[in-house]
Chains A and B, each alone.
Chain A
Amino acid sequence: MSNRTLGLMMGAVALLIVAVAVVFVLVLSGGDGDDGGDTPARPASDSADRDDAADDRDAASDERDEPDDGDRTTGGICGENRLVTFGDDPATVFDPIQVGDASTAEYTAEIFGGLVTLNLDLEVVPDIAERWEITDGGRVYTFFLRNDVVFHNGRRVTAEDVKYSLERAADPANFSPTVLDYLGDIVGVRDKFNGRADDISGVQVVDEYTLRIELTEPISYFLQQLTYTVAYVVDREQIEDDPNNWTRRPNGTGPFRVKTFRPLEEIVLIPNDRYHLGPPRVDEVVFSLSGGSLSTRFQNDEIHVALVPAVELAGVLSGESELSEFYRPVPQLSFFYLGFNVNEPPFDDPLVRQAFAHAINREAINEVLFFDAALVADGILPPTLPGYSEAISTYPYDPERAAELLAQSRYADDMPRIVLTFSGGGGDPPDNLQAYQQQWREALGVEVEIEAIEWSAYLRELRRGTFQMYSAGWIADYPDPENFLGKLFSGSSRLNHTGYASERVDALLDEAATLGDQEARYRLYHEAEQIIIDDAPIIPTFWTISHYLVRECVQNWVDPGTIVPKYRYIEIDTSGE
């Protein structure tokens, strides 16, 4: 037996060695093919396994292979009419009513569309609705639909489809986490959501291309809310045919269709050539979900868009890095802040909160820790938000004043233990939190403990209001001041986690919510914003800037700072200029 076994083993080892040789040869020959530098980054023949459905790209890229035979600089990633960018793994399926996170919303906004949408300047513009009339003092919206809007499969979109989509969003069986936030002001949505009605009484089909929506309050930001994914139009036939898997290849009305989606790998979108607002100009948009060393891939000409890695930021900003020429800073519609529980000692005394605000030197932190690449938040509403005002100001760095305020406070001699909580893992707290800690110690003689807590637990405790002081951020869902001030500071908002309640602010917010005159509305928000800052339930710290790297051949690339369908505008300059 031992001889036979030995023979078997020898055979196995021999096989292994042969396999090594074969793989080596394959690997080396494959590598040589890549060395030439004249092949496109992704030869069409290599992606045989991924092209199960659409082969048009292969055909198209074969044609384009010809002019690519030059040197690498004119070929490479800029040699093909497709955008390769990065993205986050979607947190939910591509069902507009389930989307709650920015990354999924970004894809969903390209695949679907609603009655209205946002343009790149964040203005509400027609999408499926061609125009609309607002009557009854702002309570009734009548939408006149375009008659040339089709789903990806060619079926025409009518008012019934819109009604179905809105009712589906409010259907309690679908537990949409966003429907009440965005559509809760439509008459009947809450009844439907709570199972008290079969349809939404406030949504009526007038005729095939006319839809009437009635609101409980004449809120002025209703159209902004309608641009969010939860109001997008979905295809009833597809959903009823395949209720469980339709989101794999959703039949939307947006500028792009899903070609492939592989979790943690990539999402590939291809154009909807019949898109009513003008079809996309690229043949494909590839979102690489793989993470990895994006900036190295960018440098190696394999991806059009990447973020500047933290270690490179200083060099890129100073212009010394070779990546500087691709650098695009983009202000985001978001801000970071430190929140206080205004009902718990010591932050139930406004003087303590104001002292804490005066004691931190955000300019120094920006300079030292962020390479001056963030914006010190001199207000709550970010500068690119419609309705932003320069007149708002926050507490300047003033350690003496801070110490004075603290001395006047109730807790001057009897400061309780203070814990600042942030969402994060092990290791040291973020540098900026440590810097605040140091500055409070120096200016106020107060020792603040910093505590990390896991994200979902953080959110839970935030809701319960158990934090004394916390580090948080807010990203706009729709570009309107209401989305910041109303959601975070209204006494009745469930997202108000500080416990802050000001009658004056609530009155201003209520009045602004239903005011038709936009400028007058913004003025009310400015007044409310300044009162909030003066009362200091939060300390706004920084407005965010995203640091992008964008290849020069990508035309019309913008990041409006919030969820806006934007990839259909992009063109790739394949001329090699």
Chain B
Amino acid sequence: MSQGLAGYVIRRLLWTVPVIVAISILVFLLLRLAPQDPIDSLLGQRYDEEIAQRLRAKYGYDRPLHIQYLKYVQNLFQGDLGVSTKHGDFSVAEVIIPKIRVSAGMGIMAIILVFGLGIPVGVYAALVRGSFLDPLIIGFWLLIDSIPVFVSAVVAPWLFALQLGWVDLTYEGVLHPNIILPVFVMSLPGVAGVARLMRASVIQVSNEEYVRTARAKGLRERTVVVSHVVRNALLPMITAIGLSLPGLFAGSLFVELLFGIPGIARESLQAVLGFDFDVVLGLVLFGSVLFVLANILIDIAYGFIDPRIRITAARGG
């Protein structure tokens, strides 16, 4: 059985290679065929044909496309993602790794916040269903959910920094308390979804026979809820957490822009606007690998939960 799983995982991993190669070729071509030119951006009004040619030669843009691509792949295998033209010859890794750290740090806090709030809210809403509290609680979180981030990211600083004076706004690193506000702004809209999922899950589990059995054998209600209902209702949350993992590194553009956080989303925007070839490629490749890996992880997790998927995959895959 475990061998079947290992084979499945290996097959899935092998499949990622052509996917990543295809993505990289596509993005590479899109960038190179666009009517823009990083050297043009770099030199601006001082453009001089001779200097431009020297720079193109320096970055290898003067060679045929397929040679450029092969060179890129060759460097990639040596762990070299290229250099940023916009950030003055900083290596791509040097540019994007700090940004990934920032966005991932915030993403982890956001996931913890979303599930940490959403799960108890959902459980509570399920337990009080039928009373006015249930729609009130879920409605409240839906209300929060329906405020666009670009609104809350403007209103929240005004309220919590200027009016209440609770927080400061300057970005001082992921571990500085100033990060609280942006993290809340990017997480709170997600709570409603988790809460509703958890609520539905709890209600479903509550109708299971083993819950009735637990009650019938005279366990205290508290024990029934905590040990039997909630424990089992948490299962779908695993998938939800898994699904949210790739997004963890994606950052939140509005939050990063409006709070001035040097994260991956802002870097991506800057790289695209500044036409920074290698940085854009590096970011896309990073995102693709992450996305593919997360999907594999989710599939494996499903396999654990539902053996039917595993068997079909092993047979067909």
Contacts and interface: CB of A to CB of B under 8 A. Distances in A.
B170 A41 contact: yes
A300 B162 contact: yes
B45 interface: yes
Contact of B46 (A47, A177, A247, A299): A177
B204 interface: no
A456 B48 contact: no
A540 interface: no
Interface stretch (A15-23, A132-140, A207-215, A351-359): A15-23
Contacts of A6: 235
A19 B114 CA distance: 12
A49 B173 contact: yes
B172 interface: yes
Given A293-B154, A459-B45, A459-B47, A10 B234 contact: yes
A300 B46 contact: no
Contacts of B169: 292-293, 296-297, 300, 302
Interface stretch (A259-267, A333-341, A383-391, A509-517): A259-267
Nearest to A34: B177
A3 to B, nearest CB: 12
B13 interface: no
Interface residues of B, number: 67
B70 interface: no
* Interface range for A: 35 or more
B302 to A, nearest CB: 12
Contacts of B15: none
Nearest to A2: B304
A27 B165 contact: no
A291 interface: yes
Interface stretch (A85-93, A362-370, A399-407, A562-570): A85-93
B177 A30 contact: yes
Interface in B63-121: 86-90, 95, 98-99, 109, 112-113, 115-116, 119
Interface stretch (B35-43, B138-146, B245-253, B281-289): B35-43
A571 B89 CA distance: 34
B54 interface: yes
A495 B43 CA distance: 13
Nearest to B178: A34
Q: In the complex, which of the residues B58, B115, B170, B237 has the most CB atoms of chain A within 10 Å of its own CB atom? A: B170
B40 A460 contact: yes
Nearest to B307: A2
Interface string B46-59: 11100100110010
Contact of B35 (A27, A177, A263, A457): A457
B270 interface: yes
B261 interface: yes
A200 interface: no
B158 interface: yes
Given A16-B112, A17-B116, A455-B41, A296 B161 contact: yes
A269 B315 CA distance: 63
Given A34-B168, A292-B169, A292-B259, A177 B116 contact: no
Nearest to A494: B48
30 contacts: A5-B305, A10-B231, A16-B241, A17-B116, A21-B116, A23-B109, A23-B112, A30-B180, A31-B166, A34-B177, A37-B165, A42-B172, A46-B176, A47-B172, A72-B165, A89-B86, A91-B88, A98-B88, A101-B44, A177-B46, A263-B262, A288-B260, A290-B260, A290-B262, A456-B40, A457-B35, A459-B45, A459-B47, A460-B47, A462-B45
Q: Which 7 pairs between the two chains have the least Cβ-Cβ distance?
A: A292-B260, A290-B260, A20-B116, A93-B88, A456-B40, A30-B177, A265-B262
Given A175-B54, A300-B169, 5 more contacts: A5-B305, A35-B165, A244-B89, A300-B162, A459-B44
